[in-house]
Amino acid sequence: MKHFVYIKDLLGVKTNADKFGWIYGSVAPRVSESEFEKCKIKINLHISKTADVFDKWLRIEEYDRYNYFFAKANEKKIYYDRKFIFNSRIRYSIEIRGNDITVIVNKNYFKYIKYRFMNLHSLGYILSDLTSGLLLENGYATLHCSAVNIGERSLAIFAPPGTGKTLTAIKLCENADAKFISEDIGVTDGEYIHSVPWTST
């Protein structure tokens, strides 16, 4: 398994995937297991080589069905199962326990669902939403902003995509002795802005 940290001491991913892209970045360097374990929120992402991603003991008929989703009330676990092309299936299961998210996804879903398609969303999109929610439960908000530090203060720069947030942050670093924090996504606890350094817009 490979370990990645997207926000130091806060958000890490353990996976057997060679690469994984989502709102928090796509090019994070590998880190040690001990560095990953320091993270408050941990995501365990396993891409199954087979179509079978459900627990062996699972009796799907005992679960409530919501279109392609299966779940039980008050459980923080869902299963997704859908027919796909050429008689194949796309499947995943997601479980949340405290600050840990465990995802098992079959290779068809991970490989082919990269963009919105047939009301399907990429795994990166799904995990971005779940992680943002878990961050909120822990007192952190994900912000679409660039950010710099000037002296004892930080400045978040909010604007629509493609209007110059990153360029403004870079110019502040060049001309106002600012220190770069983030270029597209920041995470705040209301007092500090944490860097999300592996985004690439």
pLDDT in tens, 60-84: 778 889 999 999 888 889 999 898 8
As a whole number, the mean pLDDT across the chain is 90
Please check the confidence at residue 133 and state whether its pLDDT lies above 60. yes
What is the pTM assigned to this prediction?
A: 0.88
Report the DSSP pairing between strands 89-97 and 100-106. antiparallel
Please check the confidence at residue 200 and state whether its pLDDT lies above 70. no
Give 140-145 contacts, CB < 8 A, sequence gap 24+. 140/10, 140/187, 140/188, 140/189, 140/194, 141/187, 141/188, 141/189, 141/190, 142/23, 142/185, 142/186, 142/187, 143/185, 143/186, 143/187, 143/188, 143/193, 144/184, 144/185, 145/182, 145/184, 145/185, 145/186
> Average pLDDT in the 99-114 region?
91
What integer pLDDT is reported at residue 52 of this predicted model? Answer: 67
